Structure 1
């Protein structure tokens, strides 16, 4: 999730035209916020840099890394590793892959159009342009497949399963209806098509194992969960009946038992994956809903049969986009809500559900007086021209994405990417040593 609209500024010359000094207008804070794949860290980015925070302690927001010299638009971290992908505001056609612990740029790729969104897991990196998708092999960053002429997708809606055994990609199949395409990123072929809603999609998310996908339309009243294998509808939840909303985010817990959703309202809903079918049958046979279903229209009885939220959190603010994560922290199940205005709200989820108590509020920002600077890299004045800088610590690999380019790579760079390929094997080869078991990119500790 990211804010693509620049904050509004006073018109130039306004004071001279009015003949008086207008009051100072402060720009609203606008951040890109996103959780990593296992909900253990939070990325926060803006025009003044980016930061990574640990979520291992709900009481204290511990800073992992700070960079104050990057004009960032999108930042994605790969699990708990040292690999981050960055897209800047200054050049939205360029993707940089960096090792933030070493302060080095591993490679960069330039595309023919602006990057609207990107997702990555341990074997694939998917870059979304407005009308095309590029699937990279994360071991060497080669383009494995290109999906062209996709429906117009300026908001970069896409989802990538974090499970490499079910490595599925989801993207809108239509810009006018709620059709969603599921693509197999390992076998590089279409998996299935799901007609999820009548109206256009607003957001969707895979379950941790990749076997299910949750969807919501722009109307935002109903959330559905489908099988990614055969498009069977498994669950249907009703977020509300009073008003239509603008959906912001859907997110599964890592255990797959809970699904949370947020919108531009002040309420975050949490649904529990229970046997809704059995509960509906019991209600219809013995409850008052079953009696009235004989006389009420089908659309009304359908509302009775939809699952309701198990719990809800009420935010102190509303009207701005946010992202969600459910994570187990110190044996307590927590709901994290990060907003594009720079706030992180932490709620406690109890087994009985209901209204969730607010546990902690953190103010987050992407700039600070103290930060670790990335090694500067020569900018590419012409994104259509492949550029190789061999003067850096690791060198770089860049190519314009037209079809399936191979780019240009020096001998030193080839060696580094061979190391990347070897180290991303599971388990990695013994000659590579990491500061943690999931560290990426695959660089030896004593490499220079």
Structure 2
């Protein structure tokens, strides 16, 4: 099986960040000179816009109608405390929102615009101009953590490890203690009925049901601490994909309420998983059913990995998390997903879930490319 056919060679510019649209059909890339829209299925450029300065964050509505932009990089086009709504059909900014502090991240849907600042999250109706619905205080949130699904928005609470659920229908707030340490990554299922969380420790992944806000599953990514880059549910909600700074992509089965406990014969530690309190919990925890490596890319030595701390100082203003995006997951369908990275070595990789010669489910890399070369 050829798991890595090389599609092209690297000669691209520096990508500051990357973000998927709502259905993962495209991803937007923020550059030192503007932004691009890339097709997720093949990693090919659909739209290139030069704006005469750096864009740290580009969030796309649908395909290319409206794009929310935040200045960033070495020579920002816009101030980091402003969100510009760019109308791609007219190739101009139609409206903007200004804040007292730098914008950490933007999320945009057909109905809502969500702005994450360091210590608050603002929710707006997606109109021109946007209309403010609510604002909530958060703990320090330098990664701009916030995720939106059908009917629900999630973001950090006012205490480390705390998670808030905002019901977009009735504005009701629910709060849980998701982890003991600060949150590092969030994801919402497409139906809005599940939320996945990881803390800055990065060993345990938890899945929460919504609207009950009860724990549905708990997975062990590994024993050693790690930076969890991305969490993503498959479209049907049956699988959770996880990437980390270990350059590993893990896949976990999401249990249903009627599903029995995993068969010890299929558990990583076999019958030891039944030993309960006699052994450390990592012997009984649920591990991924398959994993593989993805490429973080070759970056300058001074670049370094994403910080493990959820309270570090951003090194690149305007860029979510202060570092180029790595390990961003997007599902194309229930068996196919891509992993995208920004930086000097900006990569697109396609993975497929299949079955090997002995009937075991596996995930393998089908192809990859440097997406900015095209």
> TM-score normalised by the shorter chain: which range applies?
0.7 to 0.9
Q: 2:82 maps to what in 1? A: 94
Q: 2:330 maps to what in 1? A: 325
Does residue 105 in structure 1 map to residue 84 in structure 2? no
* C-alpha RMSD of the superposition: 2.5
CA deviation after TM superposition for structure 1 residue 102, in Å: 3.0
Does residue 227 in structure 1 map to residue 209 in structure 2? yes
Distance 2:238 2:262 in 1: 21
Distance 1:157 1:137 in 2: 19
Q: 2:241 maps to what in 1? A: 260
Q: 1:438 maps to what in 2? A: none
Q: 1:194 maps to what in 2? A: 176
The answer to whether the Cα contact below 8 Å between 2:58 and 2:69 also exists between their aligned partners in 1 is: yes
Q: 1:334 maps to what in 2? A: 336
Distance 2:251 2:17 in 1: 23
Q: 1:307 maps to what in 2? A: 286
Deviations 1:227-279 (A, max 9, x none): 121221101111112x1101111111222121111111111111122348744
Q: 1:360 maps to what in 2? A: 367
The answer to whether the Cα contact below 8 Å between 2:264 and 2:274 also exists between their aligned partners in 1 is: no
Q: 1:353 to 1:336 in 2, by over 3 A?
A: farther
Q: 1:350 maps to what in 2? A: 354
TM-score by length of 1: 0.66
Deviations 1:118-170 (A, max 9, x none): 11222111111112222111134433333243222222111111x2xx2x221
The answer to whether the Cα contact below 8 Å between 2:143 and 2:184 also exists between their aligned partners in 1 is: no
Does residue 246 in structure 1 map to residue 231 in structure 2? no
The answer to whether the Cα contact below 8 Å between 2:124 and 2:134 also exists between their aligned partners in 1 is: no
Distance 1:307 1:276 in 2: 16
Q: Please tell me whether Structure 1 or Structure 2 has the larger radius of gyration of its CA atoms.
A: 1
**1:396-435 equivalent positions in 2, closer than 5 A:** none
Deviations 1:51-101 (A, max 9, x none): 001124x3xx33211012242111011123522111112311111112213
CA deviation after TM superposition for structure 1 residue 106, in Å: 2.2
Deviations 1:90-117 (A, max 9, x none): 3111111122133132212212221111
The answer to whether the Cα contact below 8 Å between 2:205 and 2:218 also exists between their aligned partners in 1 is: yes
Q: 1:171 maps to what in 2? A: 155
Q: 1:325 to 1:117 in 2, by over 3 A?
A: same
Distance 1:266 1:45 in 2: 23
**1:129-208 equivalent positions in 2, closer than 5 A:** 129-161=117-149, 163=150, 166=151, 168-175=152-159, 177-190=160-173, 192-208=174-190
The answer to whether the Cα contact below 8 Å between 2:157 and 2:163 also exists between their aligned partners in 1 is: yes
Distance 1:30 1:51 in 2: 10
Return the structure number with greater strand share. 2
Distance 1:337 1:282 in 2: 30
Distance 2:192 2:137 in 1: 25
Q: 2:22 maps to what in 1? A: 37
CA deviation after TM superposition for structure 1 residue 184, in Å: 1.9
User: 227, 233, 236: which is aligned to 2:218?
Assistant: 236
**1:27-106 equivalent positions in 2, closer than 5 A:** 29-56=14-41, 58=42, 61-69=43-51, 70-89=53-72, 90=76, 91-106=79-94
1:303 aligned counterpart, secondary structure:
helix
Q: 1:253 to 1:281 in 2, by over 3 A?
A: closer
Is there any run of 5+ residues in structure 1 with no aligned partner, and where? 1-27, 369-448
1:280 aligned counterpart, secondary structure:
coil
**1:209-224 equivalent positions in 2, closer than 5 A:** 209-224=191-206
